Chains A and B, each alone.
Chain A
Amino acid sequence: GENVEQHPSTLSVQEGDSAVIKCTYSDSASNYFPWYKQELGKGPQLIIDIRSNVGEKKDQRIAVTLNKTAKHFSLHITETQPEDSAVYFCAAIDDYKLSFGAGTTVTVRA
């Protein structure tokens, strides 16, 4: 089955700086890669996703890039704000079920 690795496990950034989280996947057949944000006491909330026929997707301060050849994808958050502090999970689709990375705890320092 699919194996997703995510780095780093924790990330502390100064407010206004950028944050980058990287993930790799193992199954070259995977074609859908969502990113979820999880705040304390809440379930994962989809923030952006990308399909394998696209190399990059942007939504305001959030962007995701995908390199199919290398089997890795990344989340970029620009101009970070305190409300960006949360746990972020990458995932890859594997026969319609999601395989998740281990999560990155992002802390934005004011």
Chain B
Amino acid sequence: EPEVTQTPSHQVTQMGQEVILRCVPISNHLYFYWYRQILGQKVEFLVSFYNNEISEKSEIFDDQFSVERPDGSNFTLKIRSTKLEDSAMYFCASRLSTDTQYFGPGTRLTVL
């Protein structure tokens, strides 16, 4: 069964450093998402992406964040200058045309 994959599973970085989180959505899917879950809190929407552009973004997704689909398979989330409060689990999700979103296993980001 096709699934969303994410790398790395755990990323540790120093405050102020740039990180890139990588996702490979399900191959024929068209819509891509990033969500995050701070420990003990709700899963929160960050950004949606379709047809090589951002469809919608939340208040969290400020100028420090960017997304890219550099080729036909990868979907990345970049945080330019990480802050302590960026520490969270980041989930990538994708969908075809229906509402159903499929989630990856997540990347745990720890900012020291």
Contact = CB atoms under 8 A, between A and B. Distances in A.
> Do the two shown chains form a genuine complex with each other?
yes
Contacts of B106: 42-43
A45 B31 contact: no
Main secondary structure of the interface of A (DSSP, over half): strand
Contacts of B91: 43-44
Interface residues of B, number: 22
Given A43-B91, A97-B33, A49 B42 contact: no
A34 B48 contact: no
Main secondary structure of the interface of B (DSSP, over half): strand
B101 to A, nearest CB: 6
B103 A43 contact: yes
A101 B101 contact: no
B57 to A, nearest CB: 10
Interface in A56-110: 89, 91, 93, 95-103
Interface residues of A, number: 23
Nearest to B41: A102
Contacts of A101: 42
A97 B56 contact: yes
A30 B104 CA distance: 24
A98 B101 contact: yes
A20 to B, nearest CB: 20
B42 A102 contact: yes
7 shortest A-B CB distances, which residue pairs? Answer: A43-B103, A100-B43, A32-B99, A43-B105, A97-B45, A44-B103, A43-B106
